[in-house]
Chain A
Amino acid sequence: MSAPIISVRDLFHRYGDFTAVDGISFEVSEGEIFSFLGPNGAGKSTAINVLITLLPLQQGSATVAGFHVAKDPERVRESIGIVFQDVTLDRDMTCREILEFHGHLYKMPNAERKERIEELLALVQLEGKQDTRTKNLSGGMKRRLEIARGLMTRPRVLFLDEPTIGLDPQTRMRMWEYIKAVNREGTTIFLTTHYMDEADHLSDRISIIDKGQIIATGTPAELKNTLGEDLIYLETSDGAGTRKILSDMDMVKHITQKPNGIVAMLNGDGTKILPMIIEALSLEGIRVNAVNLKKPSMDDVFVHYTGRELRDEGAEKPSTAVTRAGRR
């Protein structure tokens, strides 16, 4: 495997006495989509701002595209594209002007700049809006324009800080498609999000970050599988017999009776345990009428690692967080 395109070791960042990033280390390989998943205030933006050289490196080391963020910030800047958490557009410039300005900032040659603008306006489907001032764009269009801007210089790494915050569900899905399309063309993507489904859907690998620390890293499947809490729903010819057999198996943690069947929570990989269960049942002559295997969601993963549900300052439940975000 090639050298990591982002490499962070023991990174700390403090605002006065407050430690926002509390010793994180991770690597991102070229071509990956890598996510920081964490609640509000976890330190995601702070970490990103150190990587993109907007905040000084206080402690630890970080390299991006092979360049050290403190020793070679210019080269880091030339190698990356950024979409900030808050909209960073001039309300009174047109889409084209926003892209022109960016191209000039990065000293792109004229011909290349013009060509790239056409390409990107097409990619994010804003050709029809190129002479519209950004204040007259919808939220999704603004975000798309910002992604186009982040891609102007064909960066090796694109940083996306909460790319779909405040977008409606359809727009979020389309956003995800853009992000995947960009990634397929070879751009490494580093994104932060506090949406479970977003991290799950987009990422090759996820680091769960909470209170400035990385508490778990892995592929979405790994994260969910290490949890080993697959759920199986069974409808059988003999409910009581099934319960007895299941409760004797040590891979089964917990059984819940449902009106027509049984839900068993497994403490192992359900894809492997399910055949064993079905076999054990058939040895006893019990017929399985219906079965459903459910993987735990990222929500379950998050609760497992943090001991809390993903919070918006405390009480909010993950399910409401997601639906509310969708409606925004």
Chain B
Amino acid sequence: MHLGFLTIFWRDMLRFYRFKTLLISSLVQPALWMAFFGIAMSSNFNRFTSEIPPLPGVPTVDYLTFMAAGVIAMTTLFTNLFGGMSLLFDKNWGLMREIFASPLPRNHIIFGIALSGMTKSFIQAIIIMVFGILIGAQFFFGYTAIETFLAILGILLFVAVFSLGFLFLSAAIAISLESPEGMQGIMTLLTMPIFFASNALYPIDAFPPALQALSLINPLTYLVTGIRYFAIGGDFQAIGIHYQFTPIQIVFAFLFLVGFAAIMFAIAWWRFRKAVVT
């Protein structure tokens, strides 16, 4: 097997590690979200929802716990949506010509960069989980050690597939564009609807139908669902809403993300095959 994608991966991680500001900001940023947004919002939400009588027999989780899953998902989204940017810089000012003129099959560029996005997302997800638990998120509450371990694996599995999908998308956009500004613009356009038309920070039950439909084809929604299932459980209430996930729903969510990643890969591969860099 050609392990060329590891070369691309190695080099991208090298840059990640070398740019200390990039490294530190990408690690600190999710923690800051948890610290400021999480704590601020949870004190509000907890007050609004304290009036609502809890359903008997269903475990209640506070807002911080509820939104921590959303912050993991959001961070994964941002990291990977912007993960293809390095390809654009490489194309304009860096090594892309060398890579394109080498015998390395082009899909390895896509795999390599996706693997690096995935690795960064793992690191960030773990940081958020640890930091979240430190400031009071009740993740893995009442789990045994084995259960906790499996739950973390489950979360990372969801994060992995999701990050692949968005990195493929990001790579496809990067290789098709000329300017980083253009890419920045497209990314900003994409993040808004993806982030807000999802269940990351609030429930989607009260959305108007159009927005709800949008949120149901939004991969972020399925990532958040997966994370909540593994971190909190299949039956809990938060902000006055009763959440129930069956294993079938979780499998569906996972398959949805796999399908999304597969389609995005097909698009990226098509763009890469067509790309000419001179």
Contacts and interface: CB of A to CB of B under 8 A. Distances in A.
Contacts of B95: 88-90, 101
Interface stretch (B56-64, B97-105, B142-150): B97-105
Nearest to A105: B102
A224 B103 CA distance: 40
A97 B13 CA distance: 13
B193 interface: no
12 contacts: A45-B278, A49-B278, A54-B101, A54-B276, A74-B103, A77-B103, A78-B103, A84-B98, A89-B94, A92-B15, A106-B102, A107-B2
A102 B98 contact: yes
Interface stretch (B4-12, B43-51, B76-84, B253-261): B4-12
Which secondary structure dominates where chain B touches chain A? helix
B94 A104 contact: no
A53 B14 contact: no
Among A84, A101, A106, the most chain B Cβ lie within 10 Å of the Cβ of A101
Interface of B: 2, 4, 6-7, 10-11, 14-15, 18-19, 90, 93-95, 97-104, 276-278
B4 A84 contact: no
A116 to B, nearest CB: 16
Given A90-B95, A92-B18, A101 B7 contact: yes
A105 B96 CA distance: 12
Interface of A: 45, 49, 52-56, 74, 77-78, 82, 84, 88-93, 97, 101-102, 104-107, 149
A77 to B, nearest CB: 5
Contacts of A93: 11, 14-15
A78 B101 CA distance: 9
Given A77-B102, A78-B103, A90-B95, A104 B4 contact: yes
Given A54-B277, A54-B278, A77 B101 contact: yes
A166 to B, nearest CB: 16
A106 B103 contact: yes
B7 A88 contact: no
Contacts of B103: 74, 77-78, 105-107
A88 B276 contact: no
Contacts of A104: 4, 6-7, 10
Contacts of B18: 92
9 A-B pairs with least C-beta separation = A104-B7, A105-B102, A77-B103, A49-B278, A88-B97, A90-B94, A105-B104, A78-B103, A54-B278
Nearest to A84: B97
Contacts of B100: 54
Nearest to A79: B103
Given A93-B11, A104-B10, A53 B101 contact: yes
B276 A105 contact: no
Nearest to A46: B278
B102 A55 contact: no
Contacts of A49: 278
B50 to A, nearest CB: 52
A91 B95 CA distance: 10
Contacts of B278: 45, 49, 54-55
B273 to A, nearest CB: 11
B4 A105 contact: yes
A55 B276 contact: yes
Nearest to A102: B98
Contacts of B277: 54
A53 B94 CA distance: 18
Given A90-B95, A93-B11, A105-B102, 19 more contacts: A53-B101, A54-B277, A54-B278, A56-B276, A74-B103, A77-B102, A82-B98, A88-B95, A89-B94, A89-B95, A90-B11, A91-B93, A93-B14, A93-B15, A101-B95, A104-B6, A105-B7, A105-B98, A107-B2
A101 B101 contact: no
Contacts of B102: 77, 102, 105-106
B55 to A, nearest CB: 55
A78 B94 CA distance: 21
Contacts of A89: 94-95
A53 B6 CA distance: 23
Contacts of B104: 105
Contacts of A55: 276, 278
Contacts of A102: 98, 102
A84 B97 CA distance: 8
A246 B94 CA distance: 61
A215 to B, nearest CB: 24
A45 B97 CA distance: 13
Contacts of B99: 105
B101 A52 contact: yes
Among A54, A55, A104, A106, the most chain B Cβ lie within 10 Å of the Cβ of A104
A131 B5 CA distance: 24
B19 A92 contact: yes
A97 B17 CA distance: 14
A107 B102 CA distance: 10
Contacts of B10: 101, 104
Contacts of A91: 93-94
A15 to B, nearest CB: 10
Contacts of A149: 98
Among B2, B6, B10, B19, the most chain A Cβ lie within 10 Å of the Cβ of B10
A102 B8 CA distance: 11
Contacts of A52: 101
A88 B98 contact: yes
